[in-house]
Amino acid sequence: MNPLLQAYDAAADRAATLHRPLLLSHTKPDGDAFGSLVAARELLRARGADPLAVSFDPLPRTYSVFARFEPVGVLGREVPLADLDHCDGVIIFDTGAWNQLLPLETWLRASALPRIIVDHHVTRDVPADALIIDESAAATCLILYHWAVHQGWTLSPDAAAAIFIGIATDTGWFAHSNTTPDALDAAARIAALGVAPNDIYQRLYQTDDAARLRLRAAVLSTIELAAQDRLAVLSVDQETFARVGATLADTENLINDPLSIRSVVVSVLLAEQKSGPVRVSFRSKAPLPGLCDLDIDVAAAAADFGGGGHRRAAGARIEGALPEVKRLVTAHLARRIENAEAGRRS
Ligand SMILES: [Mn+2]
């Protein structure tokens, strides 16, 4: 039997024993994280459970598309830590890495509750009793879709819409290199259930306020090119956030803009936080004959700074002042690109 199907069954058996599973995802949650939490809550409720979906951070303004669903409580706000005592299991979506679960790391490490992880990332160090891992899946929501279909669980309209959002956002609206026939097929089937793609698109991408566009203008003006224009580096400091009235969450997707330059193969965005390390995101283009002759693994680059992610999309948190971190990261990526270039020529 296909090991993935075995994993679906084993995780479903585990989940069936849980009356009040705690549903978690990563810090700085994205569309796939919220989508997984909303959809899993719906699916498990329909199985008779009473799941508690919790987010470490409030819904970012860029994801107001989720405001139409029952809210996901924020840990320490709507959901006090004591509420977690009533849970009898933990299901973690879209991450398996301790450094993305920091607000509950101590609690989770001390917990004896059964733990299920559903994820599509390569980087993973959190142990679990049941795992559904599909690194080839475009989104955790896509795994959730296949899991539900395999188990014969019906998708409610909210579950279907949440899954669509997760797939659509993780693939950059079906444009990134993870846009597989499988992702398109699932999206088509979900659309056939009554989820209108244009409704989702408008709610996702046409609801910004002016501050976000001003932030985009400010961040794009910081662009620096290195490594024979193959590397683009953007940065944003706290002064800029304050001036345009935007927050860290508003930087979402800005990192993709420099990839519109023909010569650029890697894009980096550095964001200064109010306190703590600089948040650094990495993106790389897929090789394409005549257009992109390099294949840069940004997950490996991020790992060199203690981060992780996917081959074409990764992130890290790096201690230090913004200009210093920028120099460090620029030099590191430039070296990787030059090494890849040298390897290609030899
Ligand atoms: Mn994801």
Domain ranges of the chain: 3-205, 210-345
Mean pLDDT of the chain: 96
Rounded distance from Cα 55 to ligand 1 centre (Å): 15
Model pLDDT for residues 290-314, shown as the tens digit of each residue: 999 999 999 999 999 999 998 999 9
Q: Are 39 and 144 in contact (CB under 8 A)?
A: yes
Above 80 in pLDDT, residue 137? yes
pTM of the model: 0.84
Q: What is the CATH number of domain 3-205?
A: 3.90.1640.10
Rounded distance from Cα 37 to ligand 1 centre (Å): 12
Taking residues 73-100, report their average pLDDT: 97
Reported as type and span, the H/E element at residue 130 is: strand 130-133
CA 242 from chain center: how many Å?
A: 25
Q: Are 129 and 116 in contact (CB under 8 A)?
A: yes
Rounded distance from Cα 345 to ligand 1 centre (Å): 34
Reported as type and span, the H/E element at residue 339 is: helix 322-345
Rounded distance from Cα 26 to ligand 1 centre (Å): 10
Rounded distance from Cα 309 to ligand 1 centre (Å): 9
Model pLDDT for residues 147-165, shown as the tens digit of each residue: 999 999 999 999 999 999 9
Rounded distance from Cα 109 to ligand 1 centre (Å): 23
What's the CATH architecture for 210-345? Roll (3.10)
Categorize the per-residue pLDDT at 7 as very low, low, confident or very high, splitting at 50, 70 and 90: very high
Model pLDDT for residues 312-332, shown as the tens digit of each residue: 999 999 999 999 999 999 999
Predicted local distance difference test score (pLDDT) of residue 261: 98
Please give the share of the chain, as a percent, with pLDDT higher than 90.
Answer: 93
Rounded distance from Cα 63 to ligand 1 centre (Å): 14
Rounded distance from Cα 170 to ligand 1 centre (Å): 6
What is the full DSSP assignment across 160-229? HHHHHHHHHHHTTTTTSTT--HHHHHHHHHHHHTT--HHHHHHHHHS---HHHHHHHHHHHTT-EEETTT
Above 80 in pLDDT, residue 93? yes
Predicted local distance difference test score (pLDDT) of residue 2: 87
Rounded distance from Cα 87 to ligand 1 centre (Å): 25
Please give the share of the chain, as a percent, with pLDDT higher than 70.
Answer: 100
Reported as type and span, the H/E element at residue 40 is: helix 31-46
Rounded distance from Cα 143 to ligand 1 centre (Å): 10
Whole-number Å distance between alpha carbons of 134 and 328:
33
Taking residues 272-282, report their average pLDDT: 97
Rounded distance from Cα 110 to ligand 1 centre (Å): 26
Rounded distance from Cα 123 to ligand 1 centre (Å): 12
Rounded distance from Cα 65 to ligand 1 centre (Å): 17
Predicted local distance difference test score (pLDDT) of residue 289: 93
